[in-house]
A and B are shown apart, each in its own frame.
With several copies, the nearest count.
Chain A
């Protein structure tokens, strides 16, 4: 299983802070599609993804146990 984290407007839209999803073997892009459909997330395309707290490109393959976070454009500072 994999933990998936939502932040900022994505969390507001998804209505949850995190979810458990079976994502091992899928790419980040594939997981994005699944998550966008499941949670009706319109702007997931503009989000970055992080795997285990490091930015990961769309083509990276997720491993069992990885924590995936969807990161909207940041606005700290």
Chain B
């Protein structure tokens, strides 16, 4: 179970434990936390929602993409859903590799891919309103109905 959607607080150490290996000299983690200010606007809290079964499959796909590109990599990703307050942990990505440069690159790849292909959405709640992020005009839309050609059935 290296790829999970969590309904409660994520235990960071338990995600790290999944990628510990005797062949690894480096483990990187990315911990996405709820930031109070975005473009000067104060967030009160967030709601994350997932298409859970597909999200787990897509997290696993990202892990497999990483293992193909970075030899010897191990990957674990947990994304939380539900209501999150400021500084709460939304996502933890742990990647272990034999050498450190790969651990950074592969981890960065994971978060970028999550933002492209994993069906999870956040709704920001401010003092003066709320909005699902991702349907805003400044976001890239997908007129062809897909994120990009390479993402289909990879």
Asked whether B7 is an interface residue with its Cβ less than 8 Å from the other chain, the reply is no
Instruction: Specify which chain B residues have a CB less than 8 angstroms from the CB of A47 in the assembled complex.
Output: 142, 145
> B119, A69: Cβ atoms under 8 Å?
yes
B94 to chain A, nearest CB (A): 15
Contact between A75 and B54, CB atoms less than 8 A apart: no
Instruction: Report whether B153 and A55 are in contact in the complex, using a CB–CB cutoff of 8 Å.
Output: yes
Residues of B within 8 A of A (CB-CB), count: 39
Are B141 and A71 closer than 8 Å at their CB atoms? Answer: no
The yes or no answer to A15 lying at the interface (CB within 8 A) is no
Question: Nearest CB to that of B81 among chain A residues?
Answer: A76
Which B residues have a C-beta under 8 Å from some C-beta of A? Answer: 32, 48-51, 53-55, 57, 79, 90-91, 111, 114-123, 132-135, 139-147, 151-153
- Using known A-B contacts A7-B119, A8-B135, determine if residue A73 contacts B50 with beta carbons closer than 8 Å: no
What residues of A have a CB within 8 angstroms of the CB of B54 in the complex?
50, 53-54, 69
Which among B53, B115, B146 is the interface contact of A74 at CB below 8 angstroms? B115
